[in-house]
Structure 1
Amino acid sequence: MKQWFAMAALAAVVVGAQAQTFPGSKPVTIVVPFAAGGPTDRVARDLAEAMRKFVPGGNFVVENSAGAGGTIGANKVAKAAPDGHTLLLFHIGMAATPALYRKISYKPLEDFEFLGMVNDVPMTLIGKPQLPANTYRDFENYIRANAGNLNIAHAGLGSASHICGLLWQSNLQSKEAMTTIPFGGTAPAMTALIGGQVDVMCDQTTNTTQQIESGRVKAFAVTTAKPLSNHPVLKHYPSLQEMGLKGFNLTIWHGLYAPKGTPAAITKTLNDALKKALKDPEFVKKNEGLGALVVNDKRVEPEEHKKFVAAEMIKIKAAVDAAGKYAD
């Protein structure tokens, strides 16, 4: 018994020492699995700036490691040393990639320590300006009347717009699916929509609000459970759930992760810093400017974060299986 207490005491000392010395002189790198300048990159840079305030001596930097729908950057972090100095900021793709790719070199629920959710970004369902419909109900009727003759754009496999389009079509249950038109990013997809080369797209408010406000695209609905009544532009549009797609509630959330095996003392330090960053007025203001909602619920806790991602994986897999669209 004495030996057990001695070992427990030693373990406590080691954990305490790890917490006190982290991060030391080495910077904490937040890996973004997408190109610089996009919505996830902006969230990461704002988060790095906020978390720096709450980790004594901490220097947080952002590194972009793009490609293969985010899987290259995610794999890099999964294989990194579990010392808290390499983190991953990933969006809903963390839950989607196992369904979209037949083979990935990491397991999202097993190869990471979940540190907490960061924010939710609502989505909007938009159409080309030439569409005759002006309301969601008219739009839905138009889709059914033109089954098989319409197409839907997205910004690439595993992108927010791709996932949103899959889930929406799965819930819509129209007689014939739209033709999917992939692009190499949000900008070319939006350009094609504005120009009338594609019919429909579903994408983040960070990318759509300005186009809706200027009248360059038509908006029909938001993907949140309830209408965005406080949003200056999108408050005029219904939610898909309100329009009859029961249970439809999709936001492009972001979460923070560390490699599996990162010591508990370090993950606690990072989670504590994350929680404080999410309450930082400057960080909240920046998120509001992006149309994002900072998480202030139980998903900031690692275990709840993990449960949420696991549930999202089930939901997305069902939609992907129904569509039958994968990548090798």
Structure 2
Amino acid sequence: MVRKLVIMAAAIGVALAGTAAAQDFPTRPITLVMPYSAGGPGDTLTRLVAQGMSTALGQQVIVENTAGAGGTIGSQKVAQSPPDGYTLLMIHVSAATNPALYPKLKYDQLKDFQPIGIVVDLPSVFVAKKDFAPKTFADLIDYVKANKDKVTYAHAGIGSASHLCGLLFQKATGTKVTSVAYRGTGPAMNDLMAGQVDMMCDQTVNVIGNVEAGSIKGYAVTSDKPVPTLPKLPVAAENGLPGFKLTIWYGIWAPKGLPQPVLDKLTKAVHAALADKTIRERMAQLGAEAASPERATPEALQAHLQAETDKWGPIIREAGVTAGQ
């Protein structure tokens, strides 16, 4: 009897300690894993969000780049971390596409993570080497259809935003061009500027500076409205690709089993970061849009992830694209 009471008391003590820890959260720095290389668009946006969350939480949120395998290495690391709120993941639409690209994943994005919220959306831009023959986006579509065996399309690796845009473009135009995969956006963009490849479609963060400088040619944006920072570029859906839309969204997740008080604090910190005027202005300069409070919630992110997983799975399987494990 005494032994049972001791065990019960110990269990209650552990539960109370856990509750107290959750209520006091955070008491040390938080790691926000960005599963792509430093210097890329995801890294840039993650550091902006981390800055705002650090201010809101009163503890530093440190960005850790755990890159490789289309974001799956960093994602797996977070999935296997303790659900205490001190290890988080910020990843884009590849959270929804990787299950189709990597059939042997050791985690389930829908079941092994606690969603916190969508944080940012940004369109992509169709760009090409500066001396590419087509003058308008409509011309570009016609050119690709007529020269599909010759056109080369650069992307930052299987599962990257530029890869996904290329798949969607080829499906919409009924073409299949030669895709050239690079290890990251930087090398792909360098070869595009050097004229080694013909075209690309990538996130606004990556292309605005080069389009403005005239290093590459911009054709159209993939959003349903013009991008203020690229006012001269038309909307793809209104210029030859009816219904075409691609928004690269980013969300934040924690490991499954996160205590509710910790989840509440993290969600509020995300809201505070996205409401920060300086952060919103910087995002806007990059062609990105901070998510609304209604979308920056666990429920909204989970529903969006499910919808995006259902959308991209058939497209990827139809294209016959898979990545090595």
- Say yes or no: TM over 0.5: yes
Q: What residue in structure 1 maps to residue 224 of structure 2? A: 225
TM-score by length of 1: 0.89
Instruction: Provide the C-alpha distance between the structure 2 equivalents of 1:244 and 1:109, rounded to a whole number of angstroms.
Output: 35
Instruction: Provide the C-alpha distance between the structure 2 equivalents of 1:29 and 1:106, rounded to a whole number of angstroms.
Output: 20
Asked if 1:137 is matched to 2:133, the reply is no
Alignment of 1:1-328 (within 5 A): 17-24=20-27, 26-55=28-57, 57-174=58-175, 177-228=176-227, 230-231=228-229, 234-296=230-292, 298-328=294-324
Q: What's the CA shift for 1:183?
A: 1.0
Query: Residue 149 of structure 1 aligns to a residue in which SS?
Result: coil
Query: Residue 237 of structure 2 aligns to a residue in which SS?
Result: coil
Aligned residue pairs total 311
Q: What's the CA shift for 1:196?
A: 2.1
Is 1:227–1:239's contact at 8 Å kept on the other side of the alignment? yes
Is 1:167–1:316's contact at 8 Å kept on the other side of the alignment? no
Q: What letter is aligned with 1:38?
A: G
Instruction: Provide the C-alpha distance between the structure 1 equivalents of 2:278 and 2:203, rounded to a whole number of angstroms.
Output: 22
Unaligned runs of 5+ in 2: 1-14
TM-score by length of 2: 0.90
Query: Residue 197 of structure 1 aligns to a residue in which SS?
Result: coil
- 1:224-277 deviation line (CA, Å, top 9, x unaligned): 01222x22xx21122122124343221221111000011111111100111111
Q: What residue in structure 1 maps to residue 12 of structure 2? A: none
Q: What's the CA shift for 1:19?
A: 4.2
Instruction: Provide the C-alpha distance between the structure 1 equivalents of 2:163 and 2:78, rounded to a whole number of angstroms.
Output: 24
Instruction: Provide the C-alpha distance between the structure 1 equivalents of 2:239 and 2:306, rounded to a whole number of angstroms.
Output: 27
RMSD between aligned alpha carbons? 2.0
Instruction: Provide the C-alpha distance between the structure 1 equivalents of 2:168 and 2:251, rounded to a whole number of angstroms.
Output: 20
- 1:101-150 deviation line (CA, Å, top 9, x unaligned): 12111111111000001111221001122222111111111111112221
Query: Residue 117 of structure 2 aligns to a residue in which SS?
Result: strand
Query: Residue 198 of structure 1 aligns to a residue in which SS?
Result: coil
Q: What letter is aligned with 2:181?
A: P
Unaligned runs of 5+ in 1: 1-11
Distance 1:297 1:238, change over 3 A: farther
Is 1:165–1:201's contact at 8 Å kept on the other side of the alignment? yes
Instruction: Provide the C-alpha distance between the structure 1 equivalents of 2:249 and 2:172, rounded to a whole number of angstroms.
Output: 20
Identity %, equivalent residues = 43
